[in-house]
Structure 1
Amino acid sequence: MSAPRLLVLFDIDGTLLETQEAGVLACVEAGREVFGTEFSFVDIPLQGKLDHENYAEAVARHCPGVDPREHEADFRRAYGEGLRRIADERGGFPPCPGITLLLDGLHGDDRFEVGLLTGNWEDTGRLKIRRAGLDDALFRCNAFADDGDHRDDLVPVARMRFQSRHGGEPRGIVVIGDTPRDIRCALAGDAVPLGVATGIFPVDRLEAEGAALAVPTLERTDEIIGWLGSVDSL
């Protein structure tokens, strides 16, 4: 079988699945447990940033003078426990519209390799995917928050993992995401951005940021796969 020629990278929150603020609630609980204070994320724009960036901002706001690196392992443990509990209470997290059929279509087409490009830490990102009823093992060329300082660092990581797996570079990379930062990181990494308005940002905002295509949802499976198949000729 020939190597796939296109790498399709998915964001998690607001693109693959909807956690309905579960991550924020778990962070608040973790802040209380580890630092003894209520973390507030009011006026901290969380969307599209890496988990460790949001964590460091919360520590700087609520615990001035504390080095967040000294407590990150404990915070991540408490955050993961809180996220599992919330997922259990809710019976999991719903996939975003069209995701299941789109992933099935991509995995059945040998032109494509599928991966993740996400601001989530790897352990809790995979937890969210599994609790949405999706198979995290199907995403094989990934870049998580653990892999960079900022989101713009992540496309090169996913490209390198594709090279390691397949022995050469992909002919094209698409980043699918629901935030302006998804669009900007794709452009910074010489990838093609596909915006989807299943988060809080509308189609016109994603287009204004430079999305090559912006859609309300990923439900039009055949049309989206057809467009993805043309990316290396764009």
Structure 2
Amino acid sequence: MPLIVLWDIDHTLIENSGVSKEIYAAAFAALTGFPPSAPVVTEGRTDRLIMADLFHRHQLASPRWEETEQALAEAGAASEPALRERGHVLPGAREALEALRCEAGLVMSVLTGNIAANALVKLRAFDLHGLVDLAVGAYGSDCEDRAGLVPVARRRVGAAYGLPASTAVVLVGDTPRDVQAALANNAEVLAVASGSYSQVALRAAGARIVLADLRDTTKVVSVLRDLNLSHAGTQLGRPGRLPQ
């Protein structure tokens, strides 16, 4: 059975070391003429929601989204050198992506709050962009609510690869919003406590499967294989084997 694996980027695959918040601040300043007066709040939200909240907190009307997206893309492109210098790939992320590329029947892309242009910048900065199919991902420009990105990715992957709507989807992410997005869409989630949320917090959000990080490549691959077997068993009318 095919399996769609959708990766979050920030704090799941890479550590941006504050560059993300600088991108939002720079985009805001480009649009308003002055910097934000308070720190940008991200917490797994989409770029649409982050920027709308930023304007709301400054009691300003949001510009047209097309203008905001362009400002974000320009700020993101300018940030790539700083990202390379200050950021890094999280332990095990590259190894997991490379190992999973060899898995038959598996499609890997991203489900991220970043706009597509900045998702590419962040992965390209660390030479990860060729390990996932970015053309079929779901991005922060597609929907304000992260949960609404899952159907977007399903449609794109299905159209590109000829997969049925029943194809199993697994989100890999580090925040409760990743967990909630999966649960709201009958998808599985592999939660990774590599960001600011603990394993306890991710389990409390509803994640069945939580890892401290991606260091154990064999474990990551095993979990995703077992999720695929579990889904395949359900499709065939018999219980699947659940990951331990």
TM value normalised by structure 2: 0.85
- Residue identity matched to 1:167: G
Range moving further from structure 2, 184-193 or 128-137:
128-137
Q: How does 1:66-215 map to 2 (within 5 A)?
A: 66-69=61-64, 71-87=67-83, 90=85, 93-136=87-130, 138-140=132-134, 141-169=136-164, 171-215=167-211
Would you identify which runs of 4 or more consecutive aligned residues in structure 1 move more than 3 Å? none
Range moving further from structure 2, 129-138 or 17-26:
129-138
Gaps of 5+ in 2: 232-239
1:225 & 1:195 partners in 2: Cα distance? Answer: 14
2:73 & 2:93 partners in 1: Cα distance? Answer: 29
Residue of 5, 8, 20 corresponding to 2:5 = 8
Name 1:38's counterpart in structure 2.
Answer: 35
- 1:109-168 deviation per Cα after TM superposition (whole angstroms, max 9, x unaligned): 113111100000000111000002212463253111122221010111111122112222
Gaps of 5+ in 1: none
Distance 1:166 1:56, change over 3 A: same
- Residue identity matched to 1:189: N
* Partner secondary structure for residue 20 of structure 2: helix
- 1:85-123 deviation per Cα after TM superposition (whole angstroms, max 9, x unaligned): 5235x1x63111101111111101113111100000000
Name 1:216's counterpart in structure 2.
Answer: 212
**2:57 paired with 1:61:** yes
CA drift at 1:226 = 1.2
CA drift at 1:68 = 2.3
CA drift at 1:32 = 2.5
Tell whether the 8 Å contact from 1:27 to 1:39 is kept in structure 2 after alignment.
Answer: no
- 1:61-86 deviation per Cα after TM superposition (whole angstroms, max 9, x unaligned): 22x34332274145224422442352
- Residue identity matched to 1:46: T
CA drift at 1:15 = 0.4
Name 2:44's counterpart in structure 1.
Answer: 48
Tell whether the 8 Å contact from 1:5 to 1:111 is kept in structure 2 after alignment.
Answer: yes
1:50 & 1:200 partners in 2: Cα distance? Answer: 17
1:100 & 1:12 partners in 2: Cα distance? Answer: 12
Tell whether the 8 Å contact from 2:189 to 2:207 is kept in structure 1 after alignment.
Answer: yes
| Count of residue pairs brought into register by the alignment | 227
- 1:170-198 deviation per Cα after TM superposition (whole angstroms, max 9, x unaligned): 54211000000000001111110111011
1:32 & 1:165 partners in 2: Cα distance? Answer: 38
Residue of 26, 29, 42 corresponding to 1:29 = 26
Tell whether the 8 Å contact from 1:30 to 1:79 is kept in structure 2 after alignment.
Answer: yes
